[in-house]
Amino acid sequence: MKIIIVGCGKVGRTIAEQLNEEKHDIKVIDIKESVITRLTDKLDIMGIDGDGASRATLLEADVSNADLIIAVTGADELNLYICLLAHFCGAKNTIARVRKPVYHKDLLECGNLTKSLGLTRLINPEHIAASEISRLVSFPSAIEVDSFAGKSVEIYTFKLNPDSALVGKKISELTLFKGNIRICDVERDDKVYIPGGDFTLSPNDKVSVIATPNIATKFFKKIKSSIIKAKDVMIIGGSRTAFYLAEELCGNGINVKIIEKSEERCAELCDLLPDAMIIRGDGMNQDLLRNEGIDKMDAVVTLMDLDEENIMLSLYARQKGNARCITKIDRIVFDNIVDTLPLDSFVRPRELTAEHIMSYVRAVKNSEGSNVESLYKLNNGKTEALEFKVTSDSRVISKPLSELKFKSDLQVACITRKRKIIIPKGDDTIEPGDNVIIVTTHHGLQDLDDILED
């Protein structure tokens, strides 16, 4: 696909890197020449130094032949205008990053408005991150939670405690709720396995299972993992992510306390979040945190601007109490070190945003086939979990799974059919209209038929 990315900040760079890995024809535009130079030196892509909101610049990038324009500059208004201009110039699809809550809400609620703006899709990293954190708060056993089929089925990733009843067991020995749950992958010593029946689970394995939320709750209870949902949550930092998260948590009846240093931002949050407690103060002040009961919280979410502050605050919260610690990370330079820290979950907004865009790109690229509905990268990108919508021309339909020759390191994890959740066995089939969830270490699958050996 021919894709133009306008804005080469953290999100723009991450999107460019992932799209480049899948061999798309990428052009990037940024007003700063130094930014373009760094990115084009690193990736085999074309860069244009110029104003992405200029028709002349877009024409230089051959916008009329572009399959997709992604506008991720620092200003919502600019992103919307770029998409409108690109649509006018002939671009087939447009994605705008829109972060302001009022814009995001109006655009979601006014379908005709997005159409008038020539906008194909909105992307909001803060809202995406907040949704991810909300799922983690609601499911304290999991390191990561990814939703499919309208949240009717989810993949839960958790660390296997040494005293777990699953340790030492082969996959074939686990009769987990009569086949209503499945182990999708296992990460061990930085290597990922798509386990077969003879695979034996070991202490400290990072395990991903797929199930409905109801079954997952029973599963974690059975293996003696925490299933008590958070009632009291402290959010440190009053960012847009904090607003979206608090709004969702308060709506679910959870007590939320936000600590924010800026007096002006505190006033805004008080108006926007009448059900949350807003505390003006420095989130790095230990006395303040103790006075506000950090040791009594069920969950602490650190949303400060600097990764280092978020990590230190989460470590402090872990030291003072038993709170579930969820830490926002914006930079990924030290991923391998960060993942060794004794913390529960890390949320990476720009990677989550890239996942959403990659899912859309794959769907657009193969719009006539089995579309990618959802895409998540597990185990720091080593594994992909994809949801496909099945069409009638797929080669996999109406054949027992046991008769199909799948690629290695790949698993058909779940089939959803008319709201029915099927954890498939060998005699199950895939039918037109189904949604199928595939977990694999292969990257770049575009179509459901790609799961088969050539």
Residue 127 tokens read as 């809202």
Q: Which of 259, 256, 236, 260 is nearest to 246 (CA)?
A: 256
pLDDT in tens, 363-397: 776 554 447 888 888 887 889 999 998 988 889 99
In CATH, 232-347 is 3.40.50.720: yes
Give the model confidence (pLDDT) of 80-129 as tens digits: 999 999 999 999 999 999 999 898 888 888 878 888 888 888 999 999 99
Residue range 142-165, pLDDT digits in tens: 888 888 888 899 999 998 888 888
pLDDT band at 335 (very low <50, low <70, confident <90, very high): low
CA dist., res. 208 & res. 159, Å (int)? 9
Instruction: Describe the crossing of helices 240-251 and 263-272 by its angle, rounded to 10 degrees.
Output: 30
pLDDT in tens, 390-448: 988 889 999 999 999 999 999 999 999 988 999 999 999 999 999 999 999 998 888 89
Pairwise CA distance, residues 177 & 444, whole Å = 33
* Residue 247 to residue 232: CA distance in whole angstroms: 14
Residue 369 and residue 60: Cα distance in Å, rounded? 32
More confident residue, 204 or 236: 236
What pLDDT, on a 0 to 100 scale, did the predictor assign at position 61? 96
- Mean pLDDT throughout 328-332? 81
What's the CATH superfamily of 2-123? NAD(P)-binding Rossmann-like Domain (3.40.50.720)
List the beta bridge partners of residue 187. Answer: 192, 206
Pick among 3.30.70.1450, 3.90.600.10, 3.30.470.30, 3.90.1150.10: CATH of 353-451: 3.30.70.1450
Instruction: Please give the Cα distance from 452 to 454 (Å, whole number).
Output: 6
pLDDT confidence of 266, banded at 50, 70, 90?
very high
Closest to 192 in 3D by CA, of 344, 384, 452: 384
Same fold, 232-347 and 353-451: no
Q: What are the residue ranges spanned by the domains of the chain?
A: 2-123, 232-347, 353-451
- Residue 5 predicted with pLDDT over 90: yes
pLDDT of res. 38: 93
Length of the chain: 454
* CB < 8 Å & 24+ apart, contacts of 77-82: 78/52, 78/53, 79/6, 79/7, 80/117, 80/119, 81/53, 82/6, 82/52, 82/53, 82/58
pLDDT at position 350 is 86
